[in-house]
Structure 1
Amino acid sequence: MKTIKYILGILFLLNISCCVNQKKKDEEQIKETVTKYWKAVKENDLQSYNNLIYDSENYPGVTASELFFLNKHYNAINSKEKFLNNIKIKDTTDIIPSVKMKYVQYTYKKENDSNNLKKPLIITLMFYKQMGFDKIYYPGILQNHIGWDK
């Protein structure tokens, strides 16, 4: 009887260990994808950029325009290389609460907007495990970017 309890205990601990290792692997995959994303933005590489976006062939205008905007403002919004050093992965859900997703979000406020008239630029990279953490799930990554650069 004691042997069965020990075996069950060991199996339980192995199960927890596997879950922790999988979570760590998932987070490493997301961080790697985010790093590749910012490299594609910096280099203005549309093909690499599109390879990181799930179903990007159905949104060629969206991906091209967002890459253009981010590349144009890359030096301003990433002046201290903070994007690569500040990858914080958070949990969220889709419209259906049972659909678990992860995201990395950056908020950039213009420095020369002392009156706080401009909304901050929000960059959100969404990930859905079923599509793979090597792909960004939503092609629309930018928020508040219309008129932001003026």
Structure 2
Amino acid sequence: MKIIKYISILSILFSVSCCVNQKKKDEEQIKETVQKFWEKAKINDFEGYKSLVADPDIFLGVMQVELNFIHKNYDKINPNDILLKNIKVKDTSIAGPNVHQKYVQYVIKKENDTTYLKKPLIITLLFYKPVGYDKIFNRKILQNHIDWDK
């Protein structure tokens, strides 16, 4: 009877350990994808950027404009590649209670906006496990970028 009890406890501990390890692997894959995203944006590599996005052919024009914006403003958005060192993966269920996704989001305030009239630039990279954490699930990643660079 004691053997069954020990086996039960060991199996529970093993399953918890596997879940923790899988979550860590998922987050590492997301962080690697985010790093590749910033690398492609820095050099304006649209083909490389497309390879990081799930179903990239749907919104090619929007993706090209956003990549050009990030590339053009890269030094303002990501000075000294600071955002590469600050990748925080968060959970969300914005698509529904049973659809769990992960995301990395950056909120970048305009430095020289002393009047605080400009909204911050928001960059959101959404990930969905069935698509793979090596692919950015949302094709439109920028918010508030109109007039942000002026």
With structure 1 as the length reference, what TM-score do the two structures score? 0.98
Q: Indicate the RMSD between aligned Cα atoms, in angstroms.
A: 0.8
1:21 paired residue number: 21
Secondary structure at 2:54's aligned position in 1?
coil
Aligned length: 150
- Per the alignment, residue 148 of structure 2 pairs with 148
Q: Determine the structure 2 residue equivalent to 1:66.
A: 66
- One-letter code of the match for 2:119? K
Q: Determine if the alignment matches structure 1 residue 32 to structure 2 residue 14.
A: no
Paired residue for 2:138? 138
- AA matched with 1:85: K
1:45 maps to 2:45? yes
* Unaligned runs of at least 5 residues, structure 1: none
Q: Secondary structure of the residue that 1:131 maps to in structure 2?
A: coil
Q: Map Cα deviations across residues 19-71 of structure 1 (whole Å, 9 max, x no partner).
A: 00000000000000000000000010000100111111111101111100000
The answer to whether 1:11 aligns with 2:8 is no
Structure 2 regions of 5+ residues with no counterpart?
none
Q: Give the aligned residue type for 1:116.
A: Y
Match of residue 129 from structure 2: 129
Q: C-alpha distance in 1, partners of 2:118/2:127?
A: 28
Return structure 1 stretches of 4+ with deviation > 2 angstroms.
none
Q: Distance in 1 between matches of 2:135 and 2:48?
A: 11
Q: Residue 126 of structure 2 aligns to which amino acid in structure 1?
A: M
Indicate the SS of the match to 1:3. Answer: helix
Query: Quick one: which amino acid aligns to residue 89 of structure 1?
Result: V
Residue type matched to 2:106 in 1? Y
- Provide the rounded CA distance (Å) in 2 between the counterparts of 1:143 and 1:80: 22
1:52 alignment partner, SS class: coil
The separation in 2 between residues aligned to 1:89 and 1:95, in whole angstroms, is 17
Looking at structure 1, the residues matched to 95 and 139 of structure 2 have their Cα atoms a distance apart, in angstroms, of 16
Deviation at 1:146, TM superposition (A): 1.1
Residue 84 of structure 2 aligns with which residue? 84
Identity in percent: 57
What residue identity is the alignment partner of 1:77?
I
Give me the whole-angstrom Cα distance separating, in 2, the residues matched to 1:19 and 1:94.
Answer: 23
Summarize deviations over 1:82-136 as a string: whole Å, max 9, x none. 2101001111013312100110000111111001010000000000111100000
Q: Structure 2 length normalisation: TM-score?
A: 0.98
Kindly provide the amino acid, as one letter, of the partner of residue 107 in structure 1.
V
SS of residue in 2 equivalent to 1:111: coil
